[in-house]
A and B are shown apart, each in its own frame.
Chain A
Amino acid sequence: MSHSDASIAARVRHVEALLEERGLVDAQELDRALEAFLANAKPANGKRIVARAWADTGFKARLLENANTAIEEIGLSMGGGLQQQTLKVVENTPEVHNVIVCTLCSCYPIALLGPSPAWYKSPAYRSRVVRDPRGVLAEFGFDPEGEIAVWDASAETRYLVLPRRPAATEGWDEQRLAEAVTRNGLIGTAPV
């Protein structure tokens, strides 16, 4: 731990203790909430959604129409955050590849996927992907075919990319399909 990290850790502890003293937070409750959040919100949720959509065309249609109600079918919800957010799933096709960003802060389907990676929050990604998505995707080793559609999450909707099902996955069960999906694929910086 660097010196500045140790000093900010001490400052955070101090403020948390102060807030506890004022009755505004409860340290134990904070720990419990954090634990519950981290146990529930992880990319595995997004991977399950994608696997089900690949395996079940009816689910996929419902997912693209109203993602909030569709994901309830597999026991998921967007309600794990501060407020129930609207989820919009955008589907990759041979013609269009979707990429997600929040240029103003770091909006992300966090209730579903957990905290976003550091690069997603970085000024480099946020500034460049709206202007030069192909240049940014090239840094991820990815050159999608078709047109690129960038989604800047600037209000109350959170986006999730539905990647194209890879060839040679015929007959795979949902669990195996889910393992083929990556977190970056759900953001649009990887093909799957």
Chain B
Amino acid sequence: MSRVNDVGGQQGFGPVGQELDEPPFHADWEAHVFAMNRALIARGVYNLDEFRDAVERLDPREYLRSGYYENWFRAICTLLVEKGVATEDALQPR
């Protein structure tokens, strides 16, 4: 489906900004999101295509507003609920 991720050829996103001496991750939580996702896929909780699908199904406004690993984290939460691993409520810190 033509979803928000499907940006090839679209105009208006502006210049490509480069960051000097960029680290692999910008915060510890980003590395944890990355590692958690790999672990959940390796365990078969969901597959990589289901994960990509979940990223693409995010609210388009949120997708464009949020950082890359923030979108990953949202997609992971979506799948944990859909796969019956946890309820929406249980995913929220008290």
A and B together in one complex? yes
Least Cβ–Cβ distance between B61 and chain A, in angstroms? 13
- Near A by CB (< 8 A), chain B positions 1-59 give 5-11, 13-19, 22, 24-29, 31-36, 38-43, 45, 48, 52, 55
**B36 neighbours in A (Cβ, 8 Å):** 12, 15-16, 19, 25, 30
Interface size bracket, A side: 35 or more
Within 8 A of B (CB), among A1-19: 1, 5, 8-16, 18-19
Nearest CB of chain B from residue A51's CB, rounded to whole Å? 22
Q: How many Å lie between the Cα of A103 and that of B5 in the bound state?
A: 8
Q: Are B16 and A118 in contact (CB under 8 A)?
A: no
Complex Cα distance A130/B8, Å? 6
CB < 8 Å: which of A5, A14, A114, A119 contacts B17? A119
> Which residues of chain B have C-beta atoms less than 8 A from A131's C-beta?
8-9, 11
Q: Which secondary structure dominates where chain A touches chain B?
A: helix
Cα A152 to Cα B42 with chains together (Å): 26
Smallest Cβ distance from B67 to chain A, in angstroms? 9
Chain A residues in 8 Å Cβ range of B6: 103-104
Q: Which residues of A contact B25 (CB under 8 A)?
A: 115
Q: Across the interface, do B29 and A103 meet the contact criterion of CB distance under 8 Å? A: no
Given contacts A11-B93, A139-B16, contact A130 B24 (CB under 8 A): no
| Inter-subunit contact A8/B85 (CB<8 Å) | no
> Are B5 and A8 in contact, CB atoms less than 8 angstroms apart?
no
Complex Cα distance A185/B41, Å? Answer: 31
Q: Which residues of A contact B16 (CB under 8 A)?
A: 119, 122, 124-125, 128, 136, 139-140
For residue A12, which residues in chain B have a CB less than 8 angstroms away from its CB? 29, 32-33, 36, 73
Is A93 in the interface zone, CB < 8 Å from B?
no
Please name the residue on chain B nearest to A1 by beta carbon. B27
Nearest chain-B residue to A4 (Cβ)?
B70
| Interface of chain A residues 130 through 146 with chain B (CB within 8 A) | 130-131, 136, 139-140
A22 and B86 form a contact (CB under 8 A): yes
**B10 & A82 in contact (Cβ 8 Å cutoff):** no
Interface membership of A164, Cβ < 8 A: no
A57 to B42, CA, bound (A): 38
Cβ–Cβ contact B52 & A105, under 8 A: yes
Decide yes or no whether A52 CB sits under 8 A from chain B: no
Which A residues fall within an 8 A CB radius of B? 1, 5, 8-16, 18-19, 22, 24-25, 29-31, 33-34, 37-38, 82, 101, 103-106, 114-115, 117-119, 121-128, 130-131, 136, 139-140, 152
* 5 closest A-B pairs by CB: A103-B8, A14-B93, A124-B13, A9-B29, A127-B7
